[in-house]
Amino acid sequence: MVARTPSRRALLRSIGAATTALAGCVADDDDPQVGLGEVQLVNYLEEDVTATVTIHRAEELEYEADHELEGYRTREIGDDVADETSIRESWMGDRVHYTVDVRTDVGSLETTYSTSDVEELVDDWGESECFTLLMRIDSDRLNTALGTSETCPSDE
């Protein structure tokens, strides 16, 4: 029995097919399952806070702004009130990597949250297309929570 060597054309075809299949696998692993849809900041401190929010989208700076949030207070009727703000921009929602950095003028309260952090916490997004990142400013830290949405700002 004589071993048959594949023709150059057959070899190149098989390399091309294998490379295409591998590229598809690598791209799927790199693309996030959901996009950033909204960032919400809530101030639960008694004092006013300035929070500087920086958002990078696909490693490009997209957003940087200071947000003035009044201190937590109680109304006369007893309702608790926390000042909050939401950031929802038309460029949000694409399935690319996002990094959200929040710094405050109170002590050393600062945190950075990325799409990779989100994907480590949630395995199955179901029908959700985007996530909401909620950051609550407390006395000793910035607490984070995640929400989901079936629509994204880029779809609106």
pLDDT band at 45; cut points 50, 70, 90: confident
Q: In the chain, what are the domains? A: 35-155 (2.60.40)
Q: Is the pLDDT of residue 108 over 70?
A: yes
pLDDT band at 74; cut points 50, 70, 90: low
The structure tokens 């609106």 sit at 156
Nearest to 41 by CA among 74, 97, 89, 87: 87
The predicted pLDDT at position 92 comes to 94
Alpha carbons 152 and 90: distance in angstroms, whole number: 9
The predicted pLDDT at position 64 comes to 97
Alpha carbons 135 and 144: distance in angstroms, whole number: 5
- Which pTM value belongs to this model? 0.74
Stretch 69-90: mean pLDDT, rounded?
76
Q: Is the pLDDT of residue 141 over 60?
A: yes
Residue with more model confidence, 51 or 16? 51
